[in-house]
């Protein structure tokens, strides 16, 4: 499932249609919820079921519906001219994925495992950490290179998905109160960003954030 999450992240980089990207993000979040459920079941971490439910409800259902309605309301279907073209962006994403695996390899210490079960857990953490770091790097890259505000919102959400994957795979989740706080902050942030996207569209007749430079005095 983590591998599919990474594939979907790279697919977002290569896709210009906004609604398609939103649905790809929803599928990615659905897989993350499945990963959280799997880890909760096999490691007896019941609080992860709550995190999985929140991930599914907020990221796979509510936020995609809200963002799709926003895209239809402002009537802009795709990003015409990203700062970096799609083929080069895909190559850069592949390079960032390689960096993610190199960084994760530096944390891999199989010799410290004392049993077969610990070795299995160590390998799980190593593989999912590599995917998590790759998600973070690719999401950050999308935030820098995409002009449309809605794509930057999706990049922020996918970046947070990388942090969530790292947390649940390495430590089996943060304390529940911390997870609830993060989900609430994320929901509020996306709602505020959604309002900002709509206001940018109203003012400039475009979601191109580069046009905000006109506001300089």
Assigned domain for 108 exists = yes
Task: Reply yes or no on whether the pLDDT at 212 is more than 80.
Answer: no
Whole domain around residue 128: which residue ranges? 2-77+86-212
What pLDDT score was predicted for residue 7? Answer: 92
The predicted-structure confidence for 125-169, as pLDDT tens digits, reads as follows 567 888 889 999 998 898 888 877 778 888 888 888 888 888 887
| Per-residue pLDDT band at 118 (split at 50, 70, 90) | very low
Count of structural domains, the chain: 1
Assigned domain for 34 exists = yes
| 6: Cα separation from own chain's centroid | 10
Counting residues of the chain whose pLDDT is more than 70, the rounded percentage is 66
Contact 131, 101 (CB under 8 A): no
Assigned domain for 203 exists = yes
Query: Who wins on pLDDT, 78 or 131?
Result: 131
Assigned domain for 192 exists = yes
- Residues whose CB is less than 8 angstroms from the CB of residue 123 and which lie 6 or more positions away in sequence, other chains included: 110
pTM: 0.76
Assigned domain for 168 exists = yes
Assigned domain for 217 exists = no
Assigned domain for 176 exists = yes
């Amino acid at each position: 499932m983590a591998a599919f999450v990474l594939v979907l992240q790279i697919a977002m980089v290569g896709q210009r249609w906004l609604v398609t990207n939103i649905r790809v993000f929803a599928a990615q979040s659905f897989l993350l919820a499945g990963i959280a459920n799997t880890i909760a079941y096999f490691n007896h971490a019941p609080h992860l079921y709550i995190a999985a439910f929140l991930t599914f409800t907020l990221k796979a259902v509510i936020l995609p519906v809200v963002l799709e309605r926003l895209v239809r309301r402002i009537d802009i279907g795709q990003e015409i001219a990203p700062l970096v073209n799609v083929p080069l962006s895909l190559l850069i994403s592949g390079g960032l994925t390689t960096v993610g695996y190199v960084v994760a390899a530096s944390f891999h210490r199989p010799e410290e495992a004392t049993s077969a079960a610990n070795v299995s857990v160590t390998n799980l953490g190593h593989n999912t950490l590599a995917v998590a770091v790759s998600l973070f790097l690719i999401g950050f890259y999308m935030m820098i290179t995409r002009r449309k505000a809605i794509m930057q919102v999706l990049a922020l959400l996918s970046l947070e998905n990388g942090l969530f994957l790292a947390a649940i795979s390495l430590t089996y989740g943060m304390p529940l109160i911390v997870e609830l706080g993060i989900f609430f902050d994320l929901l509020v942030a996306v709602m505020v960003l959604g309002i900002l996207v709509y206001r940018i569209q109203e003012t400039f007749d475009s979601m191109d954030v580069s046009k905000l430079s006109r506001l300089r005095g």
